[in-house]
Amino acid sequence: MNKLENIDHIAIQVKNIKKSVKWYTDNYNCKVIYSDDTWGFLQFENIKLALVTNSEHPPHFAILDEKIKLDSSTVKHRDGSVSKYIKDLDGNFIELIKY
C-alpha cells in the first residue's frame, strides 16, 4: 500500500505581504515562520499558509514529495527546500516540495 502524501501548505496571492501577515496574525492564532516583501509563511495548528505576490508564485497548494531531485525542472528555495510546479487536469497549480 502506498504511503499517503501530506499537504504541506496552501498559497494565496495577496497585494501586500506585510499587511496580510499582520492581518492574519492579529485575527488568528498563527505564527510567522518567515516574511519579507515577496513572501510570508504562517504556521497554523494543522497547516501552513503561504502569502505570495502574483509576480513571485501562482496560487497553489503544496504536497510533500520526498522523491523530488534537484534538476532542470526544480527550484531550490531560500529556505533550502526543493520544489517544482505541476498542473492538475483543470489547470490548478500543485507544488511538489521536499525540505
Query: Taking the domain 7-98, which CATH number applies?
Result: 3.10.180.10
Q: What is the pTM of this model?
A: 0.86
Residue of 65 and 5 predicted with greater confidence: 65
pLDDT above 50 for 8: yes
Cross-strand partners of 95: 62, 85
HEC per residue, 54-95: CCCCCCEEEEECCCCCCCCCCEECCCCCEEEEEECCCCCEEE
Q: Which of 78, 72, 71, 27 has the alpha carbon at shortest distance from 56?
A: 78
pLDDT above 80 for 80: yes
Extents of the domains making up the chain: 7-98
The model's confidence at residue 5, banded by pLDDT at 50, 70 and 90, is confident
pLDDT (average), residues 16-36: 97
